[in-house]
Amino acid sequence: MKKKALFQTFVILTTFLFFLLTACTSSQPEEESGLSGELIIFHAGSLTVPVDELTQAFQAKYSSVTFLTEGAGSRTTARKVSELGHEADLIMSADYTVIDDLLIPDFADWNIRFARNTMVIAYTEQSLYADEITSDNWHEILLRDGVVYGHSEPNADPCGYRTLMVWQLAEEHYGVPSLYENLEVSCPPENVRPKSVELIALLQSGDMDYAFEYRSVAVQHDLKFIELPEEINLSMVEQADFYSHAQVELDGTEPGETITKSGKPIVYGVTMPKNAPHPKLALEFVKFLFSTEGQAILQEQGQPPIIPPVTNDVDNLPTELKGLVESAAEAPEPAGKTALALTGEVENELSLTRADLEGMEVIELTTEHPKKGEQTYTGVLLNMLLEQAKPGDDTTLSFIASDAYTIDLSINDAKACTDCMITFDGDILRMVMPGMESSFWVKDVVAIEIK
């Protein structure tokens, strides 16, 4: 009897363990997907917090995946691969042109633009003149005796050369002769650090009063910050022509060689080096980055995502990514090609050529531009296009420019704007949005996504 009882106990325990193991296995999607191993990501210092959040969320889905992440100035990050021969699965740069300049075509095949940012001046309550500084007088405050301010190293970090661009543009915008030179002279070498996030500790300790940072970094570290005028903060596609007035000379890829960077709106880029040790994992992470969850994480961290991401390298993209990105418009579309697309949560998606738009009811409107005063525009009403597309209730319109600039507007606000228009501006289209801030007057609009 004892033997029989022991045998029955053995059978029961064996059956229980079998079901336990089966249940555990079925609850681990990473085993079924085959996703495991270590993913190596070299990223801009300003992406440290977003990357940490993204990797944690990815690991919640695939627990067998581990990460090795290294933050540094974007140019330093790229040179780890191009000059030092380090292996990485992904490079995430705070300036997508760094990838173009230092990695393509020898070390990478493609470059996808996935997020935006803006320049601000970060500070704390203990900063000198913290109760006086504004977006109008900041340059006067910084040049007062005893005020300590800094920025990151231009040859290592895009935030560094973008700071110098802000100073150049400020001289022109405010009409203050020698402002750039005075700001440069009053910022000694000891106030310049390899990457912008290293300045945070100096602000928090009181050793530095002000630091030029990305808005996302200031938000992530709960710092006070000054919003700079859009003419100089490098965030607005409408100001791209003015931004280009600023130029900074940087070290090139070879000793003694230099390259010149011109000011342009801040756009982040991601690529996978040709020698990535774990390409399958890298592509899965990029797909997650571009997913609704990944883009929500970026948004929460003050890092506005580009939706959808854009690239100039569609033909070179891995098959897995081609359906997730759009081609960046390099030039106005020729006649017969789509000039404006309305897609997403609509009954009727529209793909309109320039001729289609010109064949609609075209009106002329004289209205007040928020920066240029009274102007006259010719085009078609936005509400007329919405009537054709029939978007859903409680949706949001994303106006998308050819260079990936994006801004959102609720459907209710759009319908309430009876004079809002898509207008003809030479070979491109422009949003005219009476009563709204200039950020909504999108230049070279190519798509409206309803979501």
Provide the strand spans (E) within 287-420: 305-311, 326-327, 338-344, 350-353, 363-369, 373-381, 396-401, 406-410
Mean pLDDT on 195-203: 89
What is the CA angle 193-196-202, rounded to 5?
70
Domain ranges (residues) in the chain = 31-116+266-327, 119-262, 338-450
Q: Does the pLDDT at position 170 exceed 90?
A: yes
Q: CATH assignment of 31-116+266-327?
A: 3.40.190.10
Burial class (CB in 10 A: 0-12, 13-18, 19+), 309: buried
- Pull the structure tokens for residue 254: 């070879």
Q: Does the pLDDT at position 176 exceed 70?
A: yes
Among 6-10, 349-353, 379-383, the minimum mean pLDDT is found in 6-10
**Which CATH code, of 1.10.260.40, 3.90.420.10, 3.30.1130.10, 3.30.70.3270, is assigned to 338-450?**
3.90.420.10
Q: Where does 104-198 have alpha helices with state H?
A: 138-142, 158-174, 179-185
What is the overall mean pLDDT for the chain?
A: 87
Buried b (16+ CB within 10 A) or exposed e, 315-331: eebeeebeebbbebbee
Q: Which of the pair, 120 or 329, is modelled with greater confidence? A: 120
Question: What is the C-alpha to C-alpha distance for residues 383 and 412, in angstroms, rounded to an integer?
Answer: 11
Provide the strand spans (E) within 14-95: 37-44, 65-72, 90-93
31-116+266-327 and 119-262 in the same fold: yes
Q: Are 37 and 281 in contact (CB under 8 A)?
A: yes
Mean pLDDT on 53-64: 95
Name residue 338's beta-bridge partners.
353
Torsion angle of the four alpha carbons 349, 351, 355, 356, in this order, in degrees rounded to the nearest 10: -10
**pLDDT at site 299:** 87
Provide the strand spans (E) within 65-190: 65-72, 90-93, 112-116, 119-123, 149-152
Given pLDDT bands bounded at 50, 70 and 90, which one contains residue 253? low
**67-89 pLDDT, tens digit each:** 999 999 888 999 999 999 999 99
Question: What is the C-alpha to C-alpha distance for residues 305 and 300, in angstroms, rounded to an integer?
Answer: 10
Mean pLDDT on 150-157: 93
The 3-class secondary structure across 215-284, one letter per residue, is HHHHHHCCCEEEECCCCCCCCCHHHHHHHCCCEEEEECCCCCCEEEEECCCCEEEEECECCCCCHHHHHH
Residue 278 CA from chain centroid, whole number: 25
Name residue 73's beta-bridge partners.
none
**Which CATH code, of 3.40.50.720, 1.20.1280.50, 3.30.70.960, 3.40.190.10, is assigned to 119-262?**
3.40.190.10
Question: What is the C-alpha to C-alpha distance for residues 48 and 54, in angstroms, rounded to an integer?
Answer: 10
Question: What is the C-alpha to C-alpha distance for residues 273 and 376, in angstroms, rounded to an integer?
Answer: 49
pTM of the model: 0.62
- Pull the structure tokens for residue 236: 């607005």
Residues of the chain with pLDDT > 90, as a percent, come to 63
**31-53 pLDDT, tens digit each:** 445 688 999 999 998 899 999 99
Question: What is the C-alpha to C-alpha distance for residues 125 and 204, in angstroms, rounded to an integer?
Answer: 10
